[in-house]
Amino acid sequence: MPGPAKPRYTIIHGQYRIHRADQPRMGPQPDGDTVRFEPDNLQLLYLLPRFSGRAPDIRAKGINVRYECIDSLETHFEQAHQDNTFAFGARDKNLALLGYTNVKFFDDEPNVVSSVDADPLPGYVIANGIESNGRLLGLTYVGAPPADDGQAIFVDEALLDQSINAKMVHAGLAYVEPYDTMPMTLVNRMRVLIAGARSAGTGIFGAESVSVGKSATIASIDDAQDLVMWPKLFRRVVSYFLEGGTGLSNFDGWIRQDPVKRDDTLRLPDGEKANMHDTYEISGDQLSLHYNPEDLIIAPDPAP
């Protein structure tokens, strides 16, 4: 079967940054699936596809990279977090894979780096485009780039396996969360990787609280914060409670009220078009999943 007519990805050289030596408390807050990146050529960002019509959110010569096709547990979302063992574990694994050593965080601000042996560090992103929040969506790498800065590049399974994205899944520290902007050959490879992690019970996959056939009682934000569950759903649960939700009785209706920010359009495993509200089951205050997240294909937010 013939492949795509032209490469979908662009290689962007640059450096990762996780610390501000001059104002450390104002520095980035890296986690398991995002990092600050400073391209050698910022103009390359403006040439990338904008999947939701959003321009790149460039600040201080850099942009946040959203790791394509993965979602790690939240270290901080609207002042809430998920199971800290795996949320911070994913962050620390990500930073180690990027090459950082002796990373320390403030005791009173545990998401902000207080010191690190060396920063910034060189690396490159094989970019797919700009996502709905203005972040750079792509695959992250360290080492010698395989192509010139700004060159269009095909990504095969071998190159995908070398990415930090894939390594996070292999380590059992990230969910696979496919969007329809990623080539299906790569989505299927990520599904193979997560199947291996699930089968072995690696990392979060030996400790899920909310999954297919397994439910957890969530009547408040406090109930949700120590759970291992699909972060995309967790973020909606948190927002629901912050907006005054009591128990889960009105959660489904709340999701359906906003088809862009909450009730994402997606494809079920059989290809049927559906929405976020089709992916979970609520019984009283108990929440479970109908499908593993990796078996879905999510559409990006529509352009405004």
211 closest CA partner among 148, 281, 155, 150: 281
Q: What is the pLDDT of residue 255?
A: 98
Spacing of C-alpha 89 from chain mean position: 15
Task: Please give the Cα distance from 288 to 159 (Å, whole number).
Answer: 35
pLDDT digits (tens, 9 = 90+) for 173-208: 999 999 999 999 999 999 999 999 999 999 999 999
Q: What is the pLDDT of residue 3?
A: 55
CATH of domain 9-204: 2.40.50.90
Instruction: Give the list of residues 6+ apart from residue 175 with CB closer than 8 angstroms, or none.
Output: 70, 71, 72, 169, 194, 204, 230, 231, 293, 294
Sign of CA dihedral 190, 193, 198, 202: negative
Residue 103, phi then psi, degrees to nearest 5: -80, 125
Sign of CA dihedral 117, 120, 123, 128: positive
AA identity, residue 45: L
Domain ranges across the chain: 9-204, 208-298
pLDDT digits (tens, 9 = 90+) for 243-295: 999 999 999 999 999 999 999 999 999 999 999 999 999 999 999 999 999 99
185-218: burial string, b at 16+ Cβ within 10 Å, e else:
ebbebbbebbeebbeeebbbbeebbbbeeebbeb
pTM metric for this prediction? 0.96
Q: Mean pLDDT for each consecutive 10-residue tract of the chain (304 residues)?
A: 75 97 93 98 98 95 97 95 97 98 96 97 98 98 97 98 98 98 98 98 98 97 95 98 96 97 97 98 98 98 90
Integer CA distances (angstroms), 170 to 103, 124, 195, in order? 23, 21, 9
Q: What is the pLDDT of residue 4?
A: 56
Q: Say how many residues make up the chain.
A: 304
Q: What is the pLDDT of residue 304?
A: 82
Residue with tokens 């949320």: 87
